[in-house]
Structures are given as structure tokens and as C-alpha cells.
Chains A and B, each alone.
Chain A
Amino acid sequence: MDAGLLAQFVANGLMLGMMYALVAVGFTLFFGVLDVIKFSHGDVLTVGAFTGYSTYLGLKLLGVANPWLQVAAVVIVACAAMALLGALIAKYIVMPLKGAPALNVLLITLMLGTVLRESVRLFYPDGANPKRFPRLLPTDAVALGSFNLRLDSVLLFLGGLAVIVAIHVLINRTKLGLAIRAVAQDEETAKTMGINFTLVVLVTFAIGSAAAAFAGVMNGLYYNEINFGMGLWLGVIGFSAAIVGGLGNIYGAILGGFLFAALQTVGAVALPFASAYKDVFAFAAVIAIMAWRPTGLIAERTSERV
């Protein structure tokens, strides 16, 4: 295969890996603090992308034409709105189900996801059709042989990286992060340390949902298109990534996200005659990995679980 084309595949894989990692981190954070799987996570991403798109339309109406201002506003509004939505979902839907079987939470959030998705489809103006997401970042390119490295892709990747690093720093270097880790390990003892459990849960859901919104906007800016079903697919992949990495472990989620993208890329490169099979290949490989490591790649050592 041509080196330029290969480079294109790798660049695309890295971008996808970053989006998957951003989604997977949310799944793993929610599981960490509440032991739940929140299946509406992918659809929150969709709502985030549409919120970003609406922000862009609103700015255009207001006559704000500076693309840097536009992109900053799109990201900030989408992330802030989804942080709020995530916290509201946690407070009014997930927390009240505390103590219910995990399957119920899964089912109810699955239904909530459908409600969010269908609401976008039905209530967003012409929501059933894909929307052309604007190119807001500079598209200057450097030609490296036959591979065009575009500035907007680099910026998007760095943006995603910044979010991941920020989450890492928050979890490992701040008092709030310490509280999140304590709650994830032992809810009751964490409470007796004086930690406001409900607040920590809400903040965690806000963080995870904002990361999903960022992934949604990133996806829109990268492909220049969003649609009401985008989050369903990204959600399924993000969930698989979180599981294959080891649910509950942030680094596992990041690893799982990039691993899934790598598998897709390998699938696409190895099966050029049928690149539609790249997802089949990736999911099959995930199943094989799960059979080999049932608790994920970065598993909690069972001896550490009380």
C-alpha cells in the first residue's frame, strides 16, 4: 500500500480513537461512582453536537463571523449544556434508581437515549436529515508525499488530547478527583469522610457528559456532518471501548478507544475490497479480547476488591 494512503488511515484512526476515548471515559466514570451503565450517553453526544450546531446558527444570525469565536462558543455552549443535561439525568433518573437492579438502570437509560434521539429527529427543524456542520477551523494543509496533513485535524486532535489530559489531572491531582476516586471505591466510607456523595455523582456525570459533547462537536467538525443517529453508533463503540479497556478504569477507557479505532483501521487496510467489514472485524476482535480477558485489558485486580 502507498505510504501516503497508509498515513491517511493512521491519521483518521487517531482521530476516531480520540473520539471513542472521550465517550468511553464517560461510561467508565459513571460506572466508577455509581456502578451503573448509562446507555443514553451516546445520545447526549448527539444532543451536544446539535447544541453546538444551533450555537453556530445563532451566532451567524447575530452576525458573529470570526471562526475562532464561533468555534470557541460552539465548544463551550455544547459542553456546558451537556454537563447540565448529564447532571440532570443523574439527579432525576439515575440516582432515584439507586439500589434497583443494574439491568433496570440499563433499560431505563436505553429508553431515555431513544427519547433524546427521537426528540432530535422529530423536534429539531428538519431533524430527520443530516445537517451540514460548518468548517470552522483553518484547513491549511501540509503535503507529506501523497498525504495531506490538515491543520484542522491537528487542532481537533490536540483539543481532544487537552480534554483527556484535563480529566486525568482533575481525577489524579485535585481534591475533587480524590473525592471521585474515594466514592468509586467505597461509597459509604467516602460519605463518612464528609464527602457530599450526591454532589460528587452529579459533578462526575457533568464531566463525562461534557466530554461526550466535545466528542460530538469534534465529530461534526471533522466530518462536517451531524445526524440524529450519530451518538448511537459512537455510544456503542465507546461502551465497547470502556469494557474492553476494563470498566471503571480511565486509562482502560482511553486505551480501549484507541484500540478500537486501531482495529477498525487494520480492518479497513487489510480488507480494502470490503472496507464496510472493518466494523465487523473490529467488533469480532473485541469479542476475542473479551474471551481472553473477561474483565478487560486493565482489570481491577480481584484481590483489591473487598
Chain B
Amino acid sequence: MTSLEIENVYAAYDKADVLEGVTLTVAPGRITCLLGSNGSGKTTLIRAILGLTPPRAGTIRFGGATLSGLPTHKVIAAGIACIPEGRKVFTKLTVEENLRLGAYQEASAAAVAERLGRAYEIFPQLAERRAQLAGTMSGGEQAMVSIGRGLMSAPKLLLIDEPSLGLSPRLVKENFSIIRRINEQGITVFLVEQNVHQTLAIAHYGYVLSQGRVVASGSAEALARDAAVQRAYFG
């Protein structure tokens, strides 16, 4: 099994570093979460992994292969998929086109058809609306499109950035249970969240990011009790 190893990663947009030497490991087959308040650099770390904001220094490895320095499509080819912050569905494409894009690197039409079927099984609402433009869907439905799309490549590792953002408590709960099921099917999950309690309830291991540095880490149970986490989140 392959693990994601992030070692001493620095990343910046303009000049000032947003990530200042982040080191963490996403263990295979598990849900690893990254908690942190607004602006702590969580999304930047996801972008660094994907090669969208290439690290200024440090290395990112996935199952022995070095990802840092690769263009994004090669990172994806290594077996990684992303459910990005804010869903990022292609609003002017149909639901089905969105899903198909998730399997862009899959050459076998049969495999794509089979995964489409599975996505529609998980989200029956999407099946009814497969020809609808994604931009005309509700926020909750767009979240389904985004999750379904992330699964279409049958990834080894799924990066999920704040899936609960902007959703009703009921939908948040549903999404978290879907994430747990995804993981039970053998997909490694790296979950970025601000929703501490529900995240720690499904995660196996967690890290806390603050101002671009990892300030705490441990098993989910330990983190739930950890004073640093409490401080980071509740003042």
C-alpha cells in the first residue's frame, strides 16, 4: 500500500511563505485529517501536493515516487484525486460530463461506464439529472457531483478540502458518512476540515496546522482530548 509522505514542505504565493516546513504522513488505507483555522495553509498544502502551487522547498512522495516538481496531470496519474474546496464543479458542463472528467485518464470505456453506474448508485439524485448543467444544481447537489467526480478515477488517495463548507448540518452528516464508506472501500483519505468534532469522529489520525506549521498530531482520540487542539479552536 502507498502512503503519502510530506517532508519539510515550504510553499508561497508571492513572497512570504504560507507553509513553513510542513512534515506529515498520510497512512495507507486510513483517514488522516488536517485541522486548522482559516488561513492556516490547509488548502495551500493540498495545492502543493497537486502541483498547483509547487513547493518552494521540501519533498512530497507517494509510494516511493516523488510528486514534487511534477505537473498536475502526472500527480493525478499516480493515483490521486481531489474533491476541492468550494466543489469547483464545471458549471457549464452537464452532471455526466463533470463525472466523466473525473475519469479523464481512464482509457477503458467499460471502466468509465461501470464507475458512472456506481456514482449514480451512491447519489441517485445525480442519475435523474445527468443531463442538467451542474451550475443549475443546488449547493448540496453540486457537492455530490464533486464527490462523485473525485471517485471516478478510482483513486488510491483522495484529497478532500472542507467538504462541509456551506452545507446544512444534515448534509454535512451525510457527507461524512459517505467519506467513511469511501475509506472502508480501501481508498486512503486525506481530509482537510475545520469541523473538529465530526472530523475527528471519522478520522484515524490527525494533524493540526497553524500559520503554516504542524503544531500537534496524534490519533483522533488523542487529538480530541489534546489541549493544543482545544486552544487552536476554542481560543
A residues in contact (CB < 8 Å) with B = 175, 178-179, 181-182, 185-186, 188-198, 304, 306
Contact = CB atoms under 8 A, between A and B. Distances in A.
20 contacts: A175-B104, A178-B100, A178-B101, A179-B104, A181-B90, A181-B92, A188-B52, A188-B88, A191-B51, A191-B73, A192-B76, A192-B81, A192-B82, A193-B76, A193-B101, A193-B102, A194-B73, A197-B72, A198-B71, A304-B92
Contact of B73 (A189, A197, A304): A197
Contacts of A191: 50-52, 71-73
Does more than half of chain A's interface fall in helix, strand or loop, or is it mixed? helix
Interface in B31-82: 50-52, 71-73, 76-77, 81-82
Place the interface of chain B in its size category: 20 to 34
Most buried by B among A185, A189, A198, A304: A189
A186 B97 CA distance: 14
Given A185-B90, A194-B72, A195-B73, 13 more contacts: A179-B104, A182-B101, A191-B52, A192-B76, A192-B82, A193-B76, A193-B101, A193-B102, A194-B105, A194-B153, A196-B71, A197-B72, A198-B71
Which 8 A-B pairs rank lowest in CB-CB distance, beginning with the nearest? Answer: A194-B76, A191-B72, A194-B105, A189-B88, A193-B101, A196-B73, A194-B104, A193-B104
Nearest to A305: B91
B140 interface: no
B93 interface: yes
A174 B100 CA distance: 12
B86 to A, nearest CB: 9
Contacts of A198: 71
Contacts of A192: 50, 52, 72, 76, 81-82, 84
Contact of A178 (B84, B97, B105): B97
Nearest to A191: B72
B146 to A, nearest CB: 10
Contact of A182 (B50, B84, B93): B93
B88 A186 contact: yes
B135 interface: yes
Given A178-B101, A179-B104, A194-B153, A189 B90 contact: yes
Given A175-B104, A191-B72, A194-B104, A182 B52 contact: no
Contacts of A196: 71, 73
Interface string B103-126: 011000000000000000000000
Most buried by B among A178, A182, A188, A194: A194
Nearest to B100: A178
A188 B97 CA distance: 17
A85 B97 CA distance: 31
Nearest to B83: A192
B81 to A, nearest CB: 8
Contact of B93 (A181, A188, A195): A181
Given A192-B82, A193-B102, A196-B71, A185 B76 contact: no
Contacts of B104: 175, 179, 193-195
A179 B73 CA distance: 12
A186 B93 CA distance: 11
Contacts of B71: 191, 196-198
